[in-house]
Amino acid sequence: MTDHERGAQIDVAVFGAGRIGRIHAANLARQRGVRLKYVVDVDRAAASALAAQHGAQAVDADAALADGAVGATVICSSTDTHADLIERSAAQGKHVFCEKPVDLAIDRARGCAQAVERAGVVCMIGFQRRFDPTFAAVKARLDAGEIGTPEMLVVTSRDPGAPPVEYIRRSGGIFKDMLIHDFDIFRWILDDEADTVHATGSCLTDPAILDAGDIDCTAVTIRTKRGRLCQINTTRRAAYGYDQRFEVLGSGGMLQAGNVRPTEVTAYSARAVSTDVPEPFFLERYRAAYANEIAHFFEAITGGTPVRTTIADGVKALELAEAASLSWREGRTVRVGCGA
């Protein structure tokens, strides 16, 4: 990541002062030529605290969006506010960085994509995994032809523990809430679109999740238009931490992206040789990725270059989540609409 010289300064408004909002705010603050001007949160205390930390102001959404000096918004508020904030930002000619998902409703998400296109603003979706050094290295080496033509992708994506059931109830279901990242990884790594999707799953960790109409572990299979295969396995609870791996088999070899460990200590006892468990959760695991994606966003704005994770990618991932959800509910293979 290099910071090139930039003439003008970009003022930014961050929506959402929760965990991920705080991460983005801190990373923003490190970009040269970028100033965090506003923090917006329905929890005014949280907004004020985060604003104070970075010399910004806590204001309401209307004020932030009305300020013509604000060149970009960073949307990390609750999912039900994303579409509205994207559309309002775009209408004001502000560039947008938005956390996934665009919206739980595919039509609304498509509407946002159109609004962004009409406004001609940059809109980047926070698929931070593409900016993880390990994942990005796999992609780069794959693109360089190191293992020939990709044929098969196996994604292991496991959370360390389920969120509260109240969260799950409003989450849009495991496919839209959790696997949406994996669907984006699939499209990015195989550089192909789904032809058919099959999903199954179970509720094995907590019956309350089933009562909420959801499941906590899934097994998804995608066959692409070019006949490539992808399997994704997920769970809401891996006792050993946050497990984020994938491997891509090509005609000439395989590339694996492994977990990241806090330290490189190996311990030998009478019973076992052991190393650290993976980083505990996404904030630690994707620390570098979050920094990289924000840098990428502002470089794209200032340099006029395209962003790597567009709102179209956000819509595509959502389509796959919908297809998987349908497959699971109806117990059948689902053919995905049009490709590109």
Q: What is the DSSP letter of 208?
A: H
* Stretch of residues binding a second copy (CB under 8 A), selected from 58-66, 79-87, 218-226, 302-310: 218-226
CA torsion sign for 165, 170, 173, 175 is negative
Kindly give the pairing relationship between strand 273-275 and strand 95-98. unpaired
Can residue 145 be called a binding residue for a second copy (CB under 8 A)? no
* Residue 96 is a binding residue for a second copy (CB under 8 A): no
Contact between 48 and a second copy by CB under 8 A: the answer reads no
Report yes or no: 96 and 122 within 8 Å, Cβ to Cβ: yes
Q: Within 317-336, which residues bind a second copy (CB under 8 A)?
A: 331-333
Of 43-51, 98-106, 192-200, 296-304, the window that binds a second copy (rule: CB under 8 A) is 192-200
Which residues, numbered 272-311, are part of the site for a second copy (CB under 8 A)?
272-278
229-258 residues in contact with a second copy (CB under 8 A) are 229-231, 233, 235, 237-241, 243, 249-258
The number of residues in the chain equals 340
The conformational region for residue 93 under phi > 0 = left, psi -120 to 50 = alpha, else beta, is left
Shortest Å distance, C-beta 116 to a second copy: 32
Q: How far is the CB of 136 from a second copy (least distance, A)?
A: 8
- Of residues 71 through 90, those in contact with a second copy by CB under 8 A are none
Which of 133, 213, 303, 337 is in the footprint of a second copy by CB under 8 A?
A: 133
Among 100, 129, 158, 308, binds a second copy (CB under 8 A): 158
SS3 337: coil
Q: Which of residues 260-279 bind a second copy (CB under 8 A)?
A: 260, 262-278
Residue 12, beta-bridge partner list: 36, 72
**Identified binder of a second copy from the candidate list 130, 181, 223, 296, rule CB under 8 A:** 223
Residues in a beta bridge with 245 = 156
Please report whether residue 312 would count as binding a second copy according to CB under 8 A: no
Q: Which of 105, 219, 300, 312 binds a second copy (CB under 8 A)?
A: 219
| 79/221 with CB nearer a second copy | 221
Report the nearest approach of a second copy to the CB of residue 18 (Å): 20
CB of residue 187 to a second copy, shortest distance in Å: 17
Residue 235 Cα distances to 43, 158, 160, 325, angstroms: 31, 5, 8, 15
* 8 A C-beta contact, residue 256 and residue 246: yes
The three-class DSSP label of residue 211 is helix
Pairing of strands 123-125, 95-98: parallel
Nearest Cα to 69, choosing from 36, 112, 109, 46?
Answer: 36
